[in-house]
Structure 1
């Protein structure tokens, strides 16, 4: 058992593969790939070497306006070669929230320069997490991230995440002449791991957007770069969105990096027509060292074929976490689409007994496993190099944590805690 308390600082001092160590020397299984991003695992020296080599040649320089650098151009070409977008172009950023703001501003600006300035409304889904920047906070599908900040960006609305009919009804309610874009994750991640309601969902969504002249923006920040077995996750559903937002797994978090892949049609007014500059950019977008990290990370994804490996892990994780479905404290298990899962506590545990996911999280951490607590569930999203034995260890530890928390609330002594992950 590791010594953890609710107020104690948890200091991570080093990491390797799927493992973390704290400042006491205790080891932990990183069951969340940090914040959903360390797809290739920790401690990849080839990424560090690539960054070092780049910084000895060109440490940093802006790519704003007509300035460019080799790693940024090379990364852009590599990403567009795999993007399920017609005639793709890339706008690089420093992360997911920044990319969402970029896509939202571009959607509104696109309609403005093509003669439809009234099309400013943005639609998103319940549970959708789109970062916490200005537009992201405004379209996020979780009210707790919106409350307390005063007025946010207007002309936004949120629909149920599992209803094509609700999307069309909302477009008609607002008026297609007023709607700019619809934002959706291939699998809702931080909002609780909710896959689409069926394989036909995104095809139907894309058709509704096309029929009403609404841009379809896919937020692949969590789902991209092999977490769903493909480059951007949305390929599993055979649709071609107008924009794809990416970050996290593009560099496995080794350095901040993100971007927006834009269709040629959306880019055309800014790319080819004079007088329509897209006046948006950030200081560190296209940072050569960050792009070098991204290129080295993509090399690992391809060389080790983590796209195929992740599909095998997806099935293994699904089988393992579903063993928890019969636990008295578990209400639902969601898994099987991508290397991610949610173990939701039962209403009886949460609402009647007053048990919190934070308690389970701390109990699991004391046993050497890091999970991510959200209000009603524990989320799992490990690095894509995790083994079957490590998955079993993760799930077994979570079961022990559930048992211990339940026993504590009953006033009983918990049973044997099991291995601490050392």
Structure 2
């Protein structure tokens, strides 16, 4: 970053409007604003909702730009990806950022002429490995190549967990200088309330990775009602039909916080979850956590959650029932989760990103440009 007295630091950041990356980006932008950093946030994947625009408008120094370009993991996205690249370069020319922070992969090999940080929030290849227990099929070869090229072009790579970072390296090669910076949520936005006999889940219901269909299957066996918040339909159409649970729809953050404040148990039997922001929100709100027994969630939560085999409906039902039947155990688990959740605060996240930004911006400009130019040539 530039360090002249009075110089405003500027970042161009990408995001999408479809889920956790938006949440992460807004939280980070808000924390960066406390350090005088102004952000141009380029959102893709769909038009921001009125609630999302209101969120962005509430962040000091944030300028939201949006285009409904397809994301790199969507069906036949490459014409849109190319148009999005042209648009992003136009935004960079206008904003003159000191650094480009990409929450996608393939645009890292554009000719930015400034340092580029790529943050890996998820990946189709790691998704197939975890969810389908197989390699991504041949139709994803172009995606794999483009993601690998983007990671290779980046001046720095970050992932929210060591598990996610190892997954990226398994599928796309070693990433020298990569590091882990955990995601975060602001504790005061997720207050605990008077707890009710109620089990809650939240996430993209259409995404097999969340495995929310398993929770719906066991719901009739539970003594408490189950509610699931989130988008039921895939952005490109289709989605599961869940019965025996209350579908709450897409909630605004305050609406979701109200649900979490009253829920006693939060269940996310995920097959794939590179970090798990909704679990963090639920823990801050005082919920006991029942989570899929996967490497990333173990890394984030340690002994502060109950973990279940995501393929074992009986184990999921038993774990939730055990907490329903044992209020002291449930209260202890909720307390441990809330205490651990406070490790993942926005101030610490912003400090670590600012350190990484400065490292990248202080690196020789020649090295930055050569890295991007070589990678750009490799895919053109």
TM bracket, shorter-chain basis: 0.3 to 0.5
More helix by share: 2
Who wins on radius of gyration, i.e. which is larger?
1
Greater RCO structure (CA 8 Å; 6+ sep):
1
User: TM-score under structure 2 normalisation?
Assistant: 0.35
